[in-house]
Amino acid sequence: MTAPTQSPATGNDVGRDPGRRSLKRVASAAAIGNFVEWFDSAAYAVMSVTIAKLFFPAESPTASLLATWAVFAGGFIARPLGAAFFGRYGDCIGRNKMLGLCVIIMSSATFAIGVLPPFAVIGVWAPILLFVFRATQGFTTGGEYTGSSSFIVEYAPEGKRAFYASVIPATVGLASVAGATVGALITFTLSTEALESWGWRIPFLLAAPLGLIGLYIRSRVDDTPVFRELEQRADKSKAPLLEAIRTCGRQIMTLFGYSITNAVAYYLMSSYMIAYMTSNLGYTPTESMVTNLVAMMVYTLACPLAALLSDRFGRRPMLLTACIGFVALTVPSFSIMPLGLGWAMLGTSVLATMVAVIGTSNVPALVEMFPSAVRSSGSAIGYTLAYVLFGGTAPFVATWLVAGTGTPLAPGFYLMGLAVVSALVVVLLFRETKHLSLSRSHVH
C-alpha cells in the first residue's frame, strides 16, 4: 500500500483506501459522464419515432425507423478511434484529465443535436449532421465507460471493487430512467405539433448544464492512487496502445468475447424495446415507455446486489451465471411479452436482471485483467470493439431480423446465440481477477 498523498484538488489525504467522503466524491466523478451518455441514449430511444419522421422522411415507417437506428449505430463507428485516443490519454496523462475532456466533448455534441434543424429546413444536411454529432458522441464514449471504470476501481477498497464500481452500470440505469421519464412527460403533455416542433429537443438540450456539473465534480477529485504510483515509479508506457495489443491479446479477446452479450442485451433491453413493443407487439407508446421504465428500475436496483455477489464469489462465476441465464431465459422472456402488459414487464425485468449480473462483474474485471500501465488502452480496445460491432447494431439487427423472419422472437434467439459464445469464452479463456493487485506491471 502506498502512503497517503495530499490531494491538491480536494485538500484531503487520498491514499489507496480513501475515506468514505472521498469515495463518494470519486463515485460521483466516475458516474457523471456515464449519466450524460446514457441519458442521451434513452432520449434518442424514446424520441426515435419522432426523429425518424423529422430527419428521415420516407414512404415506409419501417424504412424511416431503420434509418434512425442506423444513425444510432453510427454513434458507435467512431468509438474505436476514441478508445485509442482516450485510452492512450488515460495511460499517459491521467485517468481524471481524460474523463474531464470526455464529458466536455460528449455534452457539447449532445447539445448540438438538440439545436439541429430537421430535414424540412436543411434537407439532406439534417441526417448527415445528426450522424456527425452521434459519431462525436461515440468518439468520447470510446474512452468514457472504461475510463470511469478504471477510475473508480483503482480507488475502491480491496474486496469491495465490484460494489463501488457498480455505480457505473447503476448510473446507466438511472440515466435511462431519467431519459425515459423526461421523454414520457414531454410526449404526454405536448401536442404532436409541439413535440415535432421543439419538444423532442428538450432532453438533448439538458446535456449542457449536466456537462458543466460533471466537469466541476471531476475537477475536484485527484487522480487515482494507482496512476500516481505509476508517475512516482516513472513506469508509464510511452506507447500503451501498442504495448496492450502486443502483450495483452488474450485479455482483449476475452473481454470482447463476453462483452458482446453484455452489449446486445443492454441495448435490446433499453434502446430497442420501446419501438419493438409499439411496432411489433401492438402496445401503445405509453405502455411501452412504462414497461421500459420498470425494466430500467429493476436493472438499477439489481446492480449493487449483483456486485456484492461478485465481490464474494468472483467475476468468473457471475459472468458464467449471466451467460447461462441468457441462454435459458431470453426466449421465454420474449415469448411472454405479447400476453399482456404485466407479462411484458416481467419479461423485460428478467432480461434487466441478467444484464445487471453480467455488467457488474464486467466493470471490475475489465480493469483488473490489465496491468496498470496499459489499463485504459487495453480495456478500451476489447470493450469498445464489442459495443461497436454488436451493441450499436443491436436495434438495427433486431428490427431487420423481425422484418425478415416474421417472428417477434428473432431478437431473443440472436441474444441466446451470443450468450452461448460468451459462455464458452468465459469457460476457456477467463482467469479469475478478483484477487489481483491493481498496481502490478506484469500481464496476468
Q: Give mean pLDDT in consecutive 10-residue pieces for the chain, a chain of 444 residues.
A: 40 45 76 77 72 74 69 72 78 77 85 90 86 84 80 88 93 83 82 88 84 79 76 69 86 95 90 83 85 91 97 96 96 94 95 96 93 85 87 83 88 94 96 87 60
Residues 251, 297: Cα–Cα separation, whole Å: 32
Q: Is 13 helix (H, G, I), strand (E, B) or coil?
A: strand
Q: Which sign, positive or negative, has the C-alpha torsion 429, 440, 238, 381? A: positive
- Residue 6 confidence (pLDDT): 39
C-alpha to C-alpha distance for 288 and 271, rounded to whole angstroms: 11
Query: How far, in Å, CA of 336 to CA of 343, rounded?
Result: 6
Write down the pLDDT at residue 7.
40
SS3 406: coil
Angle of helix 79-92 relative to helix 125-155, nearest 10 degrees, comes to 30
The CATH-assigned architecture of domain 18-221+230-429 is Up-down Bundle (1.20)
Let me know: does 153 contact 363? Beta carbons within 8 Å: yes
Q: How many residues are present in the chain?
A: 444
Rounded to whole angstroms, the Cα distance separating 224 from 350 reads 36
**Nearest alpha-carbon partner for 203 in 175, 167, 222, 239:** 175
- The pLDDT, as a whole number, for residue 15 is 42
Instruction: Give the torsion through C-alpha atoms of 251, 255, 257, 258, to 10 deg.
Output: 140
Structure-block grid coordinates of residue 353: 436482471
The predicted pLDDT at position 264 comes to: 94
Q: What is the pLDDT of residue 311?
A: 96
CB atoms within 10 A of CB 50: 19
Please state the pTM of the whole predicted model.
0.81
pLDDT of 60: 62
What lies within 8 Å, CB to CB, of 395 at 6+ separation is 69, 72, 73, 267, 268, 271, 272, 275
Read off φ and ψ for residue 14, nearest 5 degrees: -120, 105
